Structure 1
Amino acid sequence: MADISCQLLVIGAGPGGYVCAIRAGQLGLDTVIVDDRKPGGTCLNIGCIPSKALIHAADEYFAMREAAARRAIPGLTAGEPDLDWSAVVGWKDGIVNRLNNGVTSLLKKARVKLVDGRAQFLDGKTVLVTSETGTQRITARNIVIATGSEPVELPALPFGGKVISSEGALSLTAPPKRLAVVGGGYIGVELGTAFAKAGSQVTIVEAAEEILPLYDGDLVKPVRARLAELGVEVLTGAKAHGLAGEGGDLLVEATEGGERRISADHVLVTVGRRPLTEGWGREELVLDMDGQFLRVDDTCATAMRGVYAIGDVTGEPMLAHRAMAQGEMVAEIVAGKRRRFDPRAIPAICFTDPEIVSVGLSPASAKAVGIDIVTGRFPFQANGRAMTLGRDDGFVRVVARAGDHLVLGVQAVGAGIAELSAAFTLAIEMGACLEDVAGTIHAHPTQGEAFLEAAMLGLGQGLHL
């Protein structure tokens, strides 16, 4: 295979990598991107997209069951629904394939060369790519490391057999009758909720004192209540110690209740993700580390000239949209533009039921850094659109600086609330004050009105509460 020389080499075709490569190609840079799996990375192939597809399918099935049992809207009846999970998985795979093809087409349109294989650094300008067809040397003026992350494996519960990662959960041909989820973060609660709606008996085991420990208690309460409605057992302050007995029960030690065994057909381990900093020749480079992550500056440059890093490998928040923004920026920097990564806020979303959105500072985090704040909180119980949707659980909360009412953060929990994340983030990015949000006419009846009402409450001018 012939050697390749290029202006920009991107290692990893996940959200950050492929966005970087596409933007570089658009800017006229001779660009090569390398990955040993289909474009899209974890997010598209085995993470964000397929999980949301299965979550939606489970929601639809559960709604049909509710209608059949006459528990949804009085006056509506339906027959008992059937669930062919293998067909649902096939539908999910079709979405993934369609998006894979779309990314590949965009790379080709931008004149980016896609090389299939695993990259290994030889030095700061050269990598060796190994694939089934042989090896190929690529030399580049600039290199972007976008290797992403992988699930954390517990020593007591190594992946294999009945112990599965989120990737394994997304490939099951049928919902397990009994599912134990070790780790009550967003991935565990999202998938646990989906399988509970699909008919699984679900138990969530979380070592912290509450599930979704990165979110404040007010946001978690509606999710916890919904899990109880769905029959999901939640054990907090509990540690999983491995499998025991002939049946391979999950052995758990809880702060309250002591030791117990949980029978499960599958044990889903979702205790976090770790950056992929090994396996691509990092030892051949001189890179500074920030804990387990690669250290970068506000242009995503590493300690080596011409070597950049983006996405999960560079630290928290390990989110696809952060990686995408970094990738676009680096492409423009390599093309000669002046850019730096300095977002006011990056939205974080839990696709639980109800959904959670958190952007910017919470009341607790603002007070922790000594900021005097005012808040406004509007419940969906007073929102007409939420009532007509049959889901009035949750609220929108706005956090603003007391002195000038600058919006510092927005948190919300509610059905479908993820779609408001862009409005919340835009308000913070544009430096909006409570008066700006309150002075913006919001369409009626919509859930978005809760944002307006929360801002008005923060100003002491609430109308509908």
Structure 2
Amino acid sequence: MNASSVKTVTAQVLVVGGGPGGYVAAIRAGQLGLDTVLIEADRLGGTCLIRGCIPSKALIHVAARFEAMQKSVGDGHLGIALDTPPRLDLATAMRWKDGIVDRLSGGVAALLRKAKVRVLRGWAVFSDAKTCTVQSSEGPLTVKAEHVILATGSEPVPLPTLPFGGPVLSSTEALSLERLPRRLVVVGGGYIGLELGSAFARMGSAVTVVEAQPRILPLYDAALTDPVRRWLERSGVTVHLGARALGMETEGESHALVVQTADGGMSRLPANAVLSTVGRRPRLEGWGFEAMGVDRQGAFVAVDDQCRTSMRNVWAIGDLVGEPMLAHKASAQGEMVAEIIAGHCRRFAPTAIPAVCFTEPEIVSVGLSPDEAMAQGIDAIFDQFPFAANGRALTLDAGRMDAGGSGFVRLVARRDNRRVIGIQAVGAHISELSGEFALALEMGAELEDVAGTIHAHPTLGEVFHEIALRLLGRPLHL
């Protein structure tokens, strides 16, 4: 096909990638009256919606429901007793999960139509910073734009000794299994590995975790991760710390992961499947990034506080531009960039970005921990209030030690003006308070503001109120 027969599409704004950064950028640009085109080779919603955040949380919910029913077999629990054990049909559970994904992906498509965004299905390859070719189902298209927003996201990183394929799964394949692996080895004790590993353990797999660092969830401090560690021990999950995966051994249909243990010895871990979750990297290959003349900063695309790249009117957002590689960060950046292109005065300078780990129990961290405050030379005060002293936690059966009852909310504030600079928490359902925690930091709340806010009773949010009172020296329920 000669060049003259290739159709050309022009736009004010071209968004590459339909994930939580890209589709939000496109919707907001369309709302602002900008002629916008979005290119997506896969389904709308990106990694988070299609094969990450949403499907994993659906699977975690299935696992929790199944485990709760198992506890009711025989003598029962909470007055609920089952005469026979529940049966898990993983294939049916996966179809339920897929239904949620389908509904949300379709919702994204409807929102883009409502904002008058043109969606092109296909793989974009750039020839220069503002021009790309899309191999669509209708043939090749050339797309030229005044502004380009790069939102191509990230992809799992395979270990050199453990390439994906066969029994070695990334999180994508793990979220599509239709048969429960009898023995699952998880390589990587970070949040992805422990979220999925815990879910499979609750559903009945014998799970082993291999982590190279001396403790699990190394990005969180030990006080936050200890309740998770204790849950793993009680649930029969074996954890090898300071260990490295060296490769797979296969004999017939039997597989084993060879691991170098912390003492330098070797161990073979039999496995029906190995889930490798050692990290993610920005997706920069295969779409002509090199032809765009855009600078990099290490593995990521270099941007300023408005997400501008080194090339005029080329922007980059989300996982492409560095940590934290979180969907809600990408969405916030996408919304901001669209508004800047439309002439608004914006910059990306959040006080804090909440991070949530959906393990058992859940972990939330916003702002500075006590150690981080100390490292920055801040004279801080901090303390924590236990879930075990909260009425709502007890009514949710979340106050027992084996249900996250060892959890707490910890608050960090400056000593001089009592301004809140950090909030960390671990406990059942604590993810639902991440918005309140982030809002407190963004609004510059002081301890008196939190203590003076009437929290509904009985709710988990009362723990936040109580820890503020405790730091002010006047706790009521402890």
Q: Same fold by TM-score, threshold 0.5 exceeded?
A: yes
1:197-243 superposed Cα distances (whole Å, 9 cap, x missing partner): 10000000000001100000000010111111211111111111011
Question: 1:385 — aligned with what?
Answer: 392
Residue identity matched to 1:78: L
Structure 1 position 422, deviation (Å): 0.2
Residue identity matched to 1:454: I
Structure 1 position 132, deviation (Å): 3.8
Structure 1 residue 76 and structure 2 residue 80: aligned?
yes
Structure 1 residue 345 and structure 2 residue 345: aligned?
no
Structure 1 position 69, deviation (Å): 4.2
Structure 1 position 457, deviation (Å): 1.3
Q: Is the 8 A contact 1:376 1:456 kept in 2?
A: no
Q: For 1:375 and 1:228, how far apart are their aligned partners in 2?
A: 29
Q: Is the 8 A contact 2:76 2:82 kept in 1?
A: no
Question: 2:268 — aligned with what?
Answer: 261
Q: For 1:258 and 1:390, how far apart are their aligned partners in 2?
A: 42
Q: Structure 2: 5+ residue runs without aligned partners?
A: 1-5, 400-404
Q: For 1:116 and 1:29, how far apart are their aligned partners in 2?
A: 20
Q: For 1:388 and 1:228, how far apart are their aligned partners in 2?
A: 25
Q: Provide the alpha-carbon RMSD of the alignment.
A: 1.0
Question: 1:121 — aligned with what?
Answer: 126
Going from structure 1 to structure 2, the CA distance change for 1:78 and 1:257 (only over 3 Å counts) comes to farther
Q: In the alignment, which of 111, 115, 120 is matched to residue 116 of structure 2?
A: 111
Question: 1:164 — aligned with what?
Answer: 169
Secondary structure, aligned partner of 2:244: strand
Structure 1 residue 401 and structure 2 residue 414: aligned?
yes
Structure 1 residue 153 and structure 2 residue 166: aligned?
no
Residue identity matched to 2:291: E
Secondary structure, aligned partner of 2:72: helix
Q: For 2:76 and 2:229, how far apart are their aligned partners in 1?
A: 20
Question: 1:364 — aligned with what?
Answer: 371
Structure 1 position 245, deviation (Å): 4.9
Q: Is the 8 A contact 1:25 1:112 kept in 2?
A: yes
Q: In the alignment, which of 84, 98, 102 is matched to residue 97 of structure 1?
A: 102
Question: 1:336 — aligned with what?
Answer: 343
Q: For 2:343 and 2:166, how far apart are their aligned partners in 1?
A: 51
Question: 1:449 — aligned with what?
Answer: 462
Structure 1 residue 307 and structure 2 residue 314: aligned?
yes
Q: For 1:260 and 1:344, how far apart are their aligned partners in 2?
A: 45
Q: For 1:257 and 1:146, how far apart are their aligned partners in 2?
A: 42
Q: In the alignment, which of 441, 458, 462 is matched to residue 428 of structure 1?
A: 441
Secondary structure, aligned partner of 1:391: coil
> Moved runs in structure 1, 4+ residues, more than 4 A?
none
Question: 1:138 — aligned with what?
Answer: 143
Secondary structure, aligned partner of 2:271: coil
Secondary structure, aligned partner of 1:447: coil
Structure 1 residue 229 and structure 2 residue 242: aligned?
no
Q: For 1:103 and 1:381, how far apart are their aligned partners in 2?
A: 40
Q: Is the 8 A contact 2:120 2:136 kept in 1?
A: no
Secondary structure, aligned partner of 1:179: strand
Structure 1 position 76, deviation (Å): 2.2
Q: In the alignment, which of 317, 320, 340 is matched to residue 324 of structure 2?
A: 317
Q: For 1:262 and 1:102, how far apart are their aligned partners in 2?
A: 43
Residue identity matched to 1:273: R
Number of residue pairs matched? 464
Residue identity matched to 1:26: Q
Residue identity matched to 2:309: T
Secondary structure, aligned partner of 1:15: coil
Question: 1:463 — aligned with what?
Answer: 476
Higher mean C-alpha deviation, range 412-421 or range 244-253: 244-253
Q: For 1:46 and 1:288, how far apart are their aligned partners in 2?
A: 29
Question: 2:259 — aligned with what?
Answer: 252
Question: 2:298 — aligned with what?
Answer: 291
Structure 1 position 462, deviation (Å): 1.4
Structure 1 residue 413 and structure 2 residue 420: aligned?
no
Structure 1 residue 373 and structure 2 residue 372: aligned?
no
Residue identity matched to 1:81: P
Q: For 1:280 and 1:69, how far apart are their aligned partners in 2?
A: 57
Structure 2 length-normalised TM: 0.96
Secondary structure, aligned partner of 2:450: helix
Residue identity matched to 1:378: F
Identity between Structure 1 and Structure 2 (%): 58
Structure 1 length-normalised TM: 0.98
Q: For 1:57 and 1:197, how far apart are their aligned partners in 2?
A: 9
Q: For 1:332 and 1:387, how far apart are their aligned partners in 2?
A: 45
Q: For 1:223 and 1:147, how far apart are their aligned partners in 2?
A: 33
Q: For 2:228 and 2:27, how far apart are their aligned partners in 1?
A: 38
Going from structure 1 to structure 2, the CA distance change for 1:262 and 1:140 (only over 3 Å counts) comes to same
Q: For 1:317 and 1:72, how far apart are their aligned partners in 2?
A: 40
Higher mean C-alpha deviation, range 380-389 or range 153-162: 380-389
Higher mean C-alpha deviation, range 182-191 or range 123-132: 123-132
Structure 1 position 71, deviation (Å): 5.7
Question: 1:29 — aligned with what?
Answer: 34
Residue identity matched to 2:50: N
Secondary structure, aligned partner of 2:166: coil
Higher mean C-alpha deviation, range 242-251 or range 137-146: 242-251
Structure 1 position 120, deviation (Å): 1.0
Secondary structure, aligned partner of 1:215: coil
Q: In the alignment, which of 221, 226, 230 is matched to residue 216 of structure 1?
A: 221
Residue identity matched to 1:187: I
Q: Is the 8 A contact 1:61 1:81 kept in 2?
A: yes
Q: Is the 8 A contact 2:66 2:203 kept in 1?
A: yes
Q: In the alignment, which of 63, 67, 70 is matched to residue 65 of structure 1?
A: 70
